[in-house]
Amino acid sequence: MVVLSSTYRMTIKEKLLLLSIFLMLLVGCGFKGESITVYTSQDQVYAEPILREFEDQSGIRIRAVYDSEAVKTVGLVNRLILEKDNPQCDLFWNNEELRTRQLASKGVLDTDIGIEVFGARTRQWVWNTNQLSLASIPKNLTTLTNVQWRGKVAIALPLFGSTSTHFQILRQQWGRKRWRQWCRALLANDVMTVDGNSVVVQLVGRGEVALGLTDSDDVRAGLKNQLPIAGKSIFEDGFLIRNSIGYIAGSPFPDLAKRLAEFLQSDSVKFALIDAGALDSFSSGSIQEVNWQSVVEENEVAVDEIKSVFLD
């Protein structure tokens, strides 16, 4: 048996210790010990690669909290309101505007910085190309109450997400009386209400309904899955669905939040989101602007009315 000297054995221990320290440093060298918490309603399949890229470039670790398709942004908004006096989040990245503006009205966001918007999607008609042609698509939303569309149309339940925003905007633009009559006429015409815009696309793709209201990114996802569908922006009664960023008032790491916000609004991120199908690549400037202040002020009343029509 070969016996090593104590000096040599000590050298081996030192080498093993140095190796272990080196490995620990190697594992941890990607992050600087800084971290930031982000709440986002952007679909996780789109947002996660973007946030990971920011981590890789900045060395800042991100804790991301995502929403669910059924309740969309509402769950995150309620959480932020509850955390107002003890903020746990640094930045809110929303794939629409209404809920972000609602948070600002409740004092959850840092008003000194304001809300920032970037990119856009559109509300769209989606139809089954085996059942309908482009020429047969309605010119406006009021047409959906006609008997020819009875039982042939699907929408997401207008309590959540972009469909809720859309219905509230229509209420503000049309006036309460006309809007309420239209909502009741939709139900009387057997419109199908489902759990989200992606479900609308699936139903149309399977031919269970001929026509639906959804978002442009959901149409692109359906086309990617080779569904027999087509989409067209709703211009007369539609609106631009822009991504929005809100800085949380009293957040733990406001400087890091600013760095992430600048990254999210960079051209590289915009093009990445376009390539992924999360944003439209074309300009939809002809779609009318929204009086967000009025929509926010009427939000609670409008939601109660939507519930009374679609749930009672």
How much is the pLDDT for 287?
Answer: 75
Phi, psi of 111 (to 5 degrees): -75, -15
Exposed e or buried b for every residue in 38-47, given b needs 16+ CB within 10 A? bbbbbbeebb
Q: Are 164 and 303 in contact (CB under 8 A)?
A: yes
How much is the pLDDT for 32?
Answer: 57
Given the structure tokens 């190309």, which residue do they identify? 129
| Structure-token pair, residue 271 | 């093009």
Say whether 122-238+303-310 and 35-119+240-289 share the same fold: yes
**Could you state, in order of their start, the residue ranges of all structural domains in the chain?**
35-119+240-289, 122-238+303-310
How much is the pLDDT for 160?
Answer: 85
Helices marked H in 118-253: 161-174, 176-188, 197-206, 216-224
CATH class assigned to 122-238+303-310: alpha beta
Q: What is the distance between the alpha carbons of residues 253 and 37, in angstroms, rounded to a whole number? A: 9
Sequence-separated (6 or more) residues with CB below 8 Å from residue 127: 137, 204, 210, 211, 212, 229, 230, 231
CA dihedral (183, 186, 188, 194) positive or negative:
negative
Per-residue pLDDT of 193-213, as tens digits, reads 999 999 999 999 999 999 999
Q: Name beta bridge partners: 201.
A: none
Phi, psi of 274 (to 5 degrees): -65, -45
How much is the pLDDT for 25?
Answer: 43
How much is the pLDDT for 288?
Answer: 76
Q: 35-119+240-289 in CATH: which number?
A: 3.40.190.10
CA proximity to 121, closest of 266, 194, 220:
220
| Structure-token pair, residue 125 | 């008609």
Per-residue pLDDT of the chain (312 residues; tens, 9 = 90+): 434 444 434 454 454 445 444 444 444 444 457 899 999 999 899 999 999 999 999 999 999 999 865 455 678 999 999 999 999 999 999 999 999 999 999 999 998 999 999 999 999 999 999 999 999 999 999 999 999 999 999 999 999 889 999 999 999 999 999 999 999 999 999 999 999 999 999 999 999 999 999 999 999 999 999 999 999 999 889 999 999 999 999 999 999 999 999 999 999 999 999 999 999 997 665 577 899 999 999 999 999 999 999 997
Q: What is the distance between the alpha carbons of residues 255 and 9, in angstroms, rounded to a whole number? A: 50
Per-residue pLDDT of 143-184, as tens digits, reads 999 999 999 999 999 998 899 999 999 999 999 999 999 999
